[in-house]
Structure 1
Amino acid sequence: MIQLKSVSVDNWYACTQLDVTEEQRKSFPAPVVYWIAESKVVTDFRPMAIYYDSDLVGFAVYSDKPDHEDNYWLLALMIDTKYQGRGYGREALRKLIDLMKESLNCKRIMIGHRPENGIAGNLYESLGFHSVSEGLIDGEVVRLLRCK
């Protein structure tokens, strides 16, 4: 069972040890330590540790403040290379969507991914995220989920 926990003094270092495959580094270029550091100065970023039972399996970051168009952003989602292919990313994304809908009462969630990351694109699309741009925005395909 997937659980989301805030990154804290107890798990921050373990989060920094999470990694993706060499190929995926092209799609997920910022390491976890970067996101944790940025969350200390960008105060609306919420870094989350993703657990399967007691095992730390991934990491995510979302914003708890809407942008100027009332969109909430899911900024990063990754599953450690040792735990990929088990459905943890899908379940974590579902949990993140539920968390954002319940705690933020958001109506729109945005997410981006590099165009070469077809696995992420397929996952996001399968959970209802639709492309909102013809081209790339800052090098990414941007997708929108309308929450009901």
Structure 2
Amino acid sequence: MVVVLKPVSNENWYECTQLKVKPEQLHIFPAPVVYWIAESKYVNDFELRAIYSEEVLVGFLVFCANPDKDDNYWIPAIMIDEKHQGKGYGKAAMKTLIQLMRISNYTRIMIGHRPDNLIAGKLYESLGFIKTSEEVIDGEIVRLLQIN
């Protein structure tokens, strides 16, 4: 499966705001896409990408262009629209993002997920992310992918 990560722009930002998760997933992904777009105007290192399969918008993600004090690059958000879940787009988007980050010489990629989001946990583990601790931090399990 091939997905393309396109920058959120004047042409696609509104369509991105129409993406949503299933109602039963709102406790896992409570902030709507419009929140991330707004926050990116004030948090300078947020990079927003629209996830496309062919020319169809299927999801959205946010990653940080600058490392934190420990040299970690974070992925604060990834979501696949409710109509496109369960088709492999999340995994394909993560693989594409990791490759992009690898090319940009990122070496430590961090991501978090809610403890009850078992699907995300399994996805991240399948991509090589390991738990940084058994402790839940700010309501999330934190995982690290070390790139050599």
Match of 2:66 in 1: 65
Shift of 1:134: 1.8
Q: Secondary structure at the match of 2:41?
A: helix
Q: Secondary structure at the match of 2:134?
A: coil
Q: Deviations over 1:12-42 (max 9, x none)?
A: 0000000001111110111100000000100
Shift of 1:92: 0.2
Shift of 1:67: 0.4
Q: Secondary structure at the match of 1:26?
A: coil
**Gap runs ≥5 in structure 1:** none
TM-score after normalising by structure 1? 0.98
Match of 2:136 in 1: 136
Shift of 1:4: 0.3
Structure 1 consecutive aligned stretches of length 4 or more whose deviation exceeds 3 Å = none
Shift of 1:58: 0.1
Give the aligned length.
147
Alpha carbon RMSD of aligned pairs, Å? 0.6
Match of 1:86 in 2: 87
Task: State the alpha-carbon separation in 2 of the partners of residues 120 and 134 from structure 1.
Answer: 16
Q: Secondary structure at the match of 2:76?
A: strand
Match of 2:125 in 1: 125
One-letter amino acid matched to 1:109: I
Match of 2:14 in 1: 13
Q: Secondary structure at the match of 1:110?
A: strand
Paired-residue identity, %: 61
TM-score after normalising by structure 2? 0.98
Task: State the alpha-carbon separation in 1 of the partners of residues 48 and 26 from structure 2.
Answer: 19
